[in-house]
Chain A
C-alpha cells in the first residue's frame, strides 16, 4: 500500500498519492481552483498563475498546479487576497484582447470569456500599445496572434503528447507569439490537438472558421472510425442549410483534457454515404446474397454487422472472406495457445504508464496515431526507453524513440527470437523453453536480421531500471509467412517477463471481426458478394460506386473492439435514408428488428458481455476515467501451443516497396473526406531513387503481386535506405500479403 499524504484543503481532509499536486487532489475532491493554462494530460505549464493558493506557514502564494502537498499542511483556495490576485491576472489577460466575441468562433466556449465574466472584469485599466499582427494560415490550422493569450497549452500538448514538437513560443514580452518550430510554416502531422486545447480562438480549424457558433451545434458522442485506437470523439452537427432539414457534421471535438485525437478523426469526418435509397438495388442485393458462394468484407464494420455476416454464413451455408481479420485472428489464436489468454494484456493506458517499450513491425505514427501518442506521453512523462524495431526509420518517431533497431525486411521471426532470448535471459522458464532458446543459432539470426548483439545488450541495459514494460506488435507481423510462430514467441516473452503485450489491429475493427466470424481463406470464387471496402461481383458498401448503398460508420449504431479490448459504441451522427445489412438479413430470415438488438447477443465465449447497446455509456467522467462501453472479459485458453524452430530468414533483394499510408490516411473512407491531404505519391529516399533509376516527380508504374499502379515518385529527404513507401488508402491491396513486397518500377514515358 502506497503511503498517502494527508492534508487539508479549505478545512476538508484530503489525501494525496506521492507525486500528485495540490490542484490534482483538489479536483479529485471537487474543490474548485480556477486555472487558465492547466491541462490534465501534460505537465503543468505554470504560465497563468491563476491557480495560486495559500499554504499555512508559507509566505506568499503557492502555485497549486505544480506543488505537491506536504503532510498536514492547510491549504486555502480562496480569500480576498487570492481573489484580488486572480482578478488582476484576468485584467492583464484582457488588455487589448480584441472585442470581437461577436464573430469569434470560440465565443460561447471560451475560457477567457468565462473567466472574464467570473471575475467580473468589465473595463480595461491597463494600457499597452496594440500591435498589428496578421492571421497566420497554416493549412488546416489558422493562428490569430491577436487573440492568443500565451497559455502555452498548445506547445505542451504538441511536444508532450503528440510528439510533433512543431510549434514553439517566440518570447518577446508583450509581443510573444506562437511560431512554427524551425520552419517558415507549420510542418506537422496536423492532428489539430492544438486547436482543441486552445482556450481562446487563436488556433482554429480553417475549415470550420466562421461557419457556426458553439451553442448552435448539437453533439453526438461516438468513436473514431478510422483506426483501431478507438479514440472517443464528439461529432458536432447543425442543420446544413435552409433548403434541407438534414444535418451535417461541422466539426469534431474530443475531450482534450484527458484524450487525444489525430487529424484523421478530427478533420476526416465527412465519409458519410450520401447515396439515395433504391428498392431495385435492394432486391438485387437479396438475390445476389441468395446466389452467393461467399461474402468478402473489410474490417471497417461494426461487431453487430460482423455477427449478422456470421449468421448469414450459417443460414446460407456460404464462406466468409476477410484476410485482414483472418490473419489477425490466426495470430491471436497462436498467441493464445502459448499465453493461455484470448486477448492481449496491454492497453494504450499501459503504454502511457510504461517506462520501457519495444515496438516491432509497425510504422506506428501513421498506422495507429493513438499508440504513437501513448508512446510520446510515456517518453516525456516517464522518461520511457523506447526501442523501435523496424526495417525503416520513422522521422515522426525520432523525438521519442531512444533506440532504433533496424532489421532486414522479412526477418521478424529471427528478431523476435533474438528479443525473446535476450529478455528471458534470466527468467525462470521451463526446461523445454530454455532448451528452445539455447538451440537458437544466434550468430546466424543476428547476421541475417542485421540486429547486432551490442544492440540487444544496449536494450537490456536501458531496461535495467524499468518496471512497467510493454511490447507492441504491429500489423507487419500478422501477414508474415511465419506469423504463427512469431505470435508464440511474443506470448513467450509476455509469459516469463514483466512485459505486457499490445497488438495493433490494422483496421478499426479487425479485432472484433476476428472474434465474431469464422473466416475462410480467401479463394477466387465466382458470385462473391462484397460488403464494405472489398472486391466482389455485387458490392454492398457505403463507398461510391456500390451496387447497394448502406450507411457509413458515422451513420449507424454499433460497437467496435479497440486496441484496448474495449467494446466501444458508435452512434448515428448523420441520417441515412437507405438499407442496412440487417434489412438484407431480415429478407433472408435472420430475424431481429434492429442491428443493435444483436449487441447483447455477441459471442460470450469471446469475452463479450450481454449488455444492450442502449446501456453502453460513451463518455469520460470529469476525473478522466474512461467509462465508455466495456472491456472484454478475460477468457482462458488451452495452452497447447508449441514453439517451432525458427526458419531460415528470407532475403529481400531488388526493389522493395512497403505498404504504408501517409499521415492522416488509413483507408478508402479517409480517402473520401474533403479536408485530409491525399498524398498518393510513392515516397523513397535518394538511395532508392538511384537504385531504381528514377528521380523526383517521375511518373512511374509500380507492379507488385498481380497489381499495377501508376504513381508519381517523390523524393523524401526524411527517408533512408532502399525501401519506398507505397500508400494503400487509395487502392485495395491483398491484406494477406506481407507489407514489404518485391516490386518492379518502371518510368512511364509520355
Chain B
C-alpha cells in the first residue's frame, strides 16, 4: 500500500505520456485514417489471438461451469455459523439483526427450548429485499450471521427467501473443520485480544 500513498509525482517512476493532439481539420483526420490503416496494427491484435489460440492459455473462464474465487470480504448470501468448540449454532436469537436491518428483510421468531435457553424457531431473509449492506453481520454479537461468497441469487420471483437451515453451516462441513470464518464487516479485527478488558477477579 505504501507505494500508492506517496503521491509525489516528482519521484517514484512517474513519467509523462506523450499523447498526440487530436486532428481538428478534415485533412488531418484523413491522414490519421491512412496512417492507421496501413500500419498493420490490426495484425498485431490478430497475431495475439492466433498465438493464444495455439497455446491454449485461456484467460476467460467458462461460467457457470467455472467460477472465480470470491474475496473473503465479499458480501453475498448470508451464512449462519457454528461454534468451533461444540458444533452448536452460534445464533442466540437476540434479534439485533432483525432490528438493524434497513431494508426490513430479516424476520425471526424465538421460543424457549427444552433446556430453558432461547432458541430460534423461525428465521428467514428475503433476498429480494436485501441490499447486502452487511449491518446484520456487523451488529451480530456472536459472529453468527455473516455474509458468504454465494452470489447466485437470481430468482424468478421478487420475493426470494432463504431460511435458517439453508444458511447454517452443514454439520458434516463442521466435522471436517471446514467452516470458513468471514473476514469482512463485523469480523474480529486483528489484535482484538489485546484490547479486551478483563473483569477484575481479585477476591
Q: Which residues of A contact B (CB under 8 A)?
A: 101-103, 107, 123-129, 135, 209-213, 215-216, 239, 241-242
Q: Are B124 and A103 in contact (CB under 8 A)?
A: no
For A103, the chain B residues whose CB sits under 8 A away are 92-94, 117-118
Does B96 touch A at the CB level, under 8 Å?
Answer: yes
Interface of A is mostly: loop
Does B99 touch A at the CB level, under 8 Å?
Answer: yes
For A128, the chain B residues whose CB sits under 8 A away are 203
For B165, the chain A residues whose CB sits under 8 A away are none
Does B40 touch A at the CB level, under 8 Å?
Answer: no
Does B199 touch A at the CB level, under 8 Å?
Answer: yes
Q: What would be 16 A-B contacts, judged by CB atoms less than 8 Å apart?
A: A102-B96, A102-B142, A103-B92, A103-B94, A107-B94, A123-B197, A126-B200, A127-B199, A128-B203, A135-B116, A210-B110, A211-B110, A213-B99, A216-B98, A239-B107, A242-B107
Which partner residue on chain B sits nearest A126 by CB separation?
B200
Does B202 touch A at the CB level, under 8 Å?
Answer: yes
Does B31 touch A at the CB level, under 8 Å?
Answer: no
For B170, the chain A residues whose CB sits under 8 A away are none
Identify which of A101, A127, A210 contacts B201 (C-beta below 8 A): A127
Q: Are A242 and B99 in contact (CB under 8 A)?
A: no
Q: In the complex, how many angstroms separate the beta carbon of B160 from the nearest chain A beta carbon?
A: 14
Does B52 touch A at the CB level, under 8 Å?
Answer: no
Q: In the complex, how many angstroms separate the beta carbon of A243 from the nearest chain B beta carbon?
A: 9
Does B112 touch A at the CB level, under 8 Å?
Answer: yes
Which partner residue on chain A sits nearest B107 by CB separation?
A242
Cα A123 to Cα B93 with chains together (Å): 25
For A101, the chain B residues whose CB sits under 8 A away are 94
For A102, the chain B residues whose CB sits under 8 A away are 92-94, 96, 141-142
For B197, the chain A residues whose CB sits under 8 A away are 123
Identify which of A123, A126, A213 contacts B95 (C-beta below 8 A): A213
Which partner residue on chain A sits nearest B95 by CB separation?
A213
Which partner residue on chain B sits nearest A101 by CB separation?
B94
For B181, the chain A residues whose CB sits under 8 A away are none
B87-122 vs A, CB cutoff 8 Å, 1 = contact: the mask equals 000001111101100000001011110001111001
Q: Are B92 and A211 in contact (CB under 8 A)?
A: no
For B98, the chain A residues whose CB sits under 8 A away are 216
For B142, the chain A residues whose CB sits under 8 A away are 102
Q: Which residues of B contact A (CB under 8 A)?
A: 92-96, 98-99, 107, 109-112, 116-119, 122, 124, 141-142, 197, 199-203
For A135, the chain B residues whose CB sits under 8 A away are 116
Q: Are A127 and B200 in contact (CB under 8 A)?
A: yes
Cα A211 to Cα B111 with chains together (Å): 5
Cα A125 to Cα B199 with chains together (Å): 7
Which partner residue on chain B sits nearest A142 by CB separation?
B116
Which partner residue on chain A sits nearest B93 by CB separation?
A103
Q: In the complex, how many angstroms separate the beta carbon of B36 from the nearest chain A beta carbon?
A: 64
Q: In the complex, how many angstroms separate the beta carbon of B202 from the nearest chain A beta carbon?
A: 5
Q: Are B124 and A242 in contact (CB under 8 A)?
A: yes
Identify which of A125, A212, A213 contacts B200 (C-beta below 8 A): A125
For B122, the chain A residues whose CB sits under 8 A away are 241-242
Which partner residue on chain B sits nearest A125 by CB separation?
B200
Q: In the complex, how many angstroms separate the beta carbon of A129 from the nearest chain B beta carbon?
A: 5
Which partner residue on chain B sits nearest A135 by CB separation?
B116
- Give the 8 A-B residue pairs with the shortest CB-CB distance, closest first: A102-B94, A103-B118, A210-B118, A210-B112, A213-B95, A127-B200, A129-B203, A124-B199
Q: Are B202 and A127 in contact (CB under 8 A)?
A: yes
Q: Are A210 and B109 in contact (CB under 8 A)?
A: no
For B201, the chain A residues whose CB sits under 8 A away are 127
Q: Are A209 and B112 in contact (CB under 8 A)?
A: yes
For A129, the chain B residues whose CB sits under 8 A away are 203
Cα A101 to Cα B107 with chains together (Å): 19
Which partner residue on chain B sits nearest A208 by CB separation?
B112
Q: In the complex, how many angstroms separate the beta carbon of A644 from the nearest chain B beta carbon?
A: 61
Q: Are A127 and B203 in contact (CB under 8 A)?
A: yes
For B109, the chain A residues whose CB sits under 8 A away are 211, 241-242
For B202, the chain A residues whose CB sits under 8 A away are 127
For B203, the chain A residues whose CB sits under 8 A away are 127-129
Q: Are B200 and A216 in contact (CB under 8 A)?
A: no
Q: In the complex, how many angstroms separate the beta carbon of A646 from the nearest chain B beta carbon?
A: 60
For A211, the chain B residues whose CB sits under 8 A away are 109-112
Cα A125 to Cα B107 with chains together (Å): 38
